Structure 1
């Protein structure tokens, strides 16, 4: 998957002036790449367009201007893209009732190991994730996952317990073609999903960026609207 380059990112003031058109394009890309499983798990298959949008939105929310901080955001979010035949997927856990959501997040700490994609041969491909996304008390409502599909398009995604005993959503069948934004996903797979601007920043092994004024605010926003 093509990574986002520095030359593609504009300052947050310029972006704010052009935000309406950028947002429309990004949400159109997300609609083709979003699949809901078990009514509460939204699988978003990331690509160049969705990641660039997240970088620009985070810069806008936190008013990031320092060059090193911009580069840090680009590097951090580019890690969500699949490389070497992998697919990067963001899973959003959502419930309308905040109390139910808090209860599930506390109980579903093992959820990432129950998520999977299905290959054309029927094989279940399990997720890889950063264990720091799961604390001792609860699961983050936004999970950043990688699936080693070896460059092939999956045909379904799903979850075993604890998100219900078993739930699976098929993706439209296609001939064996390289993964593209529309080759494995279509509007037929959609049920619902948020259109939030930021999902919170993914955890990086190098640690959080210094001077992040809005990190807590953005993280709380992603918790409220997964």
Structure 2
């Protein structure tokens, strides 16, 4: 997938006009890119459209209109657009209660490296986590991680041909496994060249 450039973006004024329709389209698209991985953990698979929306929303919220600021947002979010041989996802541990969240994050140190996807009968592919910065300490993990799942050409071809895909977490404190719904697999197949 092509990375976003300034030419792809709406000006703040244009975005104010198209935002309701654009937001509706993106939210409908995201429904087939969300995967719950057990209680309180979710993978949100990213692509060019989800990142376009994220950049536009950041520019809107921060009232960024100068070239340098726009380039900074593009530099922050373009790495989350799949490269044709991988899936990229935001992994979130979502616990509303702050004390409960703190306790869970302390138990889950290293969880981001134990998230995996499996295409058909191929071996599991474990995530490459947080390539932009370290997000955990020895005492706790972060509630948000950015993951990349690098697939072999054979795996990508199997996905395009309709192979089933599963995902899970192989962490002693949080083991989970799910089959991806066909609508999610179909959406993710579009990320692969």
Give the helix-richer structure, 1 or 2: 2
* Structure 2 portions without partners, runs of 5+: none
Deviation by residue 1:90-129 (Cα, 9 ceiling, x = unmatched)? 1111013222112222332211111001122241100102
Measure the CA separation in 1 of the matches of 2:187 and 2:173. Answer: 26
- Calculate the TM-score normalised by the size of structure 2: 0.82
Match of 1:148 in 2: 150
How far apart are 1:61 and its partner, in Å? 1.4
**Match of 1:57, SS?**
helix
Q: Quick check: 2:41–2:93 contact (8 Å CA) kept in 1? A: yes
Match of 1:220 in 2: none
- The alignment covers a number of residue pairs equal to 179
Q: Aligned pair 1:181/2:181, yes or no?
A: no
**Match of 1:35, SS?**
strand
Superposed CA RMSD:
2.3
Runs of 4+ in 1 over 3 A off after TM superposition: 135-138
Deviation by residue 1:155-197 (Cα, 9 ceiling, x = unmatched)? 0111022552x211102469xxxx852658xxxxxxxxxxxxx
Match of 2:129 in 1: 129
Measure the CA separation in 1 of the matches of 2:180 and 2:56. Answer: 29
Q: Aligned pair 1:169/2:175, yes or no?
A: no
Match of 1:120 in 2: 120
Measure the CA separation in 2 of the matches of 1:145 and 1:72. Answer: 20
Measure the CA separation in 1 of the matches of 2:104 and 2:42. Answer: 15
How far apart are 1:81 and its partner, in Å? 1.7
- Calculate the TM-score normalised by the size of structure 1: 0.71
Measure the CA separation in 2 of the matches of 1:138 and 1:163. Answer: 13
Match of 1:101 in 2: 101
How far apart are 1:35 and its partner, in Å? 0.6
Rate the CA distance shift 1:125–1:14 in 2: closer, same or farther, 3 A.
Answer: same
* Structure 1 portions without partners, runs of 5+: 185-226
Question: 74-83 or 48-57, which moves further after superposition?
Answer: 74-83
**Match of 2:29, SS?**
helix
How far apart are 1:13 and its partner, in Å? 3.5
Match of 1:221 in 2: none
Measure the CA separation in 2 of the matches of 1:171 and 1:23. Answer: 25
Q: Quick check: 1:38–1:163 contact (8 Å CA) kept in 2? A: no
